Chain A
Amino acid sequence: MSTRVVTAHSIGLRPCHVCGQVHRAAGAQAIRCPRCQTRLRVREHNSVSRTWAYLLATAILYIPANVLPILQTQQLLVTRDDTILSGIAELWRSGAWDLALIVFVASILVPLVKIVSLSFLLISVQRRSSWHPKARTRLYRMIDFIGHWSMLDVFVVSLLAALVQFGPYAHAQPESGAVAFGAVVVLTMLASMSFDPRLIWDTVPAGPVPDSITDD
């Protein structure tokens, strides 16, 4: 036994993802959810161009975020400025390779993976690709989930600046790279929020699927 997947759009239904109710709507007419007043669109408004805009802004700010120092530390007469990458190298040299790895993944890899993956998803959607939609949806859910971990270094810098205040003996202060970096994190989050994963499936013909839909 098998049933075919039917999309809400193809049978004139407009789901509300805020409160979960499903409503009827003919064509592309604008309606609001009667229960929670959310504007129900067939697909997110201008999802592709908005996501591109956020991504472009992210890519531009990614450069100062990594080139500018985020933290200045001073110990007796030695002052050093650390960028995100040099901070990771320092952590690695001090023997905390596990934490160095965590910071590297959170601060360098996650934003980069987000920019590359979202660009790939956008291009695939614009080219109306039907290549592995399930894998692409998984990729989207993954980058949406990991995004906020990049904020790690901004918190570390704030904590160090609050703690290491020993006048001329030892001193830590955040620097302008932290602003650019915080902006990168916020922008990547806005980018993944504005992408509508349903676009991935709009070019995929509905296929037969098994009957049961439960699992745990």
Chain B
Amino acid sequence: MSAGAKSGTLVVCKDCDAVYSRQPLPWQSRARCLRCHGALYRDHREGFDGTIALATAGLIAFVITNVYPVMSINMQGSSNTATLWQTVLAPERYGLGAVSVLVAMMVFFTPMLQLLLTLYVAIPLHLRHRPRGFATAMHALRYLRPWSMVEVFMLGALVAVAKLAGLASVAPGVGLWGLVGLTVLMTLLLLDDPHRFWDAADTCVDGLGDKVARTV
């Protein structure tokens, strides 16, 4: 589907500045830099339907994570549950608002924006349209990328279970399974190479409706 960058165009290693000429790659394989072994580019013959499927599934997992409790605890007959947002807000109750802001950013806002923005750019590109604000969305995705920590939060939930094991009976909630799904889907989604979005957008008609193909 997506045209991708033409073979023969130049590609530069981001880690060591070495210049290469793009060559056609075997299906879904990856070219690495000869000097520093950094990733250069991947085979991009697949379209955006996989991306859309992953992001949609990720959004469903995200909703499950947020609607259902992540964990429940039972202690001497009384029980308590924690949803993702209760976890985010807990430090703030004790005057540690800064911690709440960090947690909210890393396990709620960043993954949510990543999923929504990915769909916002991938669906039009799949239909060969360049969405309005494409560049802004792509830059936002780049800035968000390092700050998404769903997988770390999932491991944190396991550690919390172990810490409470001797003290009370702990049960994973539906939200924890949502978190597991979200971790897997986000990981797969972030394997994608953002450069191919830019390359694909170059060959699309403008989102404003005028049928002028953008030059490569």
Tell me the A residues contacting B by CB distance below 8 Å. Answer: 5-9, 11, 13, 15, 17-22, 35-38, 75, 87, 90-91, 94, 96, 99, 102-103, 106, 133-134, 137-138, 140-141, 147-149, 151-166, 169-170, 173-176, 178-179, 182-183, 186, 189, 193, 197-198, 200-202, 207, 209-210, 213-216
Contact = CB atoms under 8 A, between A and B. Distances in A.
Given A151-B152, A152-B152, A189 B146 contact: yes
15 contacts: A18-B138, A22-B11, A87-B163, A134-B37, A138-B37, A147-B146, A148-B152, A149-B152, A155-B156, A159-B90, A164-B80, A173-B94, A174-B96, A198-B17, A216-B30
A91 B162 contact: yes
A166 B23 CA distance: 63
A15 B14 contact: yes
Contacts of B33: 213
A137 B82 CA distance: 42
B159 A156 contact: yes
A37 B139 CA distance: 10
B38 A137 contact: yes
A186 B106 CA distance: 11
Contacts of B170: 163
Interface in B27-57: 28-38, 40-41
A103 to B, nearest CB: 6
Contacts of A200: 16
B202 A155 contact: no
Contact of A8 (B17, B87, B88): B17
Contact of B156 (A156, A198, A209): A156
Interface stretch (B70-78, B113-121, B181-189): B70-78
Could you say which of B75, B87, B99, B103 has the most chain A C-beta atoms within 10 Å of its C-beta? B99
A154 B103 contact: yes
A131 B195 CA distance: 32
A140 to B, nearest CB: 8
Given A20-B198, A20-B199, A193-B146, A155 B153 contact: yes
Nearest to A135: B36
A192 B50 CA distance: 31
B90 A162 contact: yes
A163 B96 contact: no
Contact of A201 (B10, B16, B73, B103): B16
B91 A163 contact: no
Contacts of A202: 17
A170 B75 contact: yes
Given A159-B71, A201-B36, A213-B23, A152 B16 contact: no
Given A157-B91, A165-B80, A20 B41 contact: yes
A195 to B, nearest CB: 11
A7 B19 contact: yes
A9 B14 CA distance: 12
Given A137-B15, A214-B23, A214-B29, A159 B78 contact: no
Nearest to A202: B17
Nearest to A94: B166
Interface string B118-142: 0000000000000000010011001
Could you say which of A19, A37, A106, A179 has the most chain B C-beta atoms within 10 Å of its C-beta? A19
B29 A75 contact: no
Given A155-B152, A214-B31, A13 B10 contact: yes
A211 to B, nearest CB: 9
A173 B138 CA distance: 39
Given A159-B87, A213-B31, A35 B198 contact: yes
Could you say which of A156, A163, A189, A193 has the most chain B C-beta atoms within 10 Å of its C-beta? A163
Interface in B4-25: 5, 9-12, 14-20, 23, 25
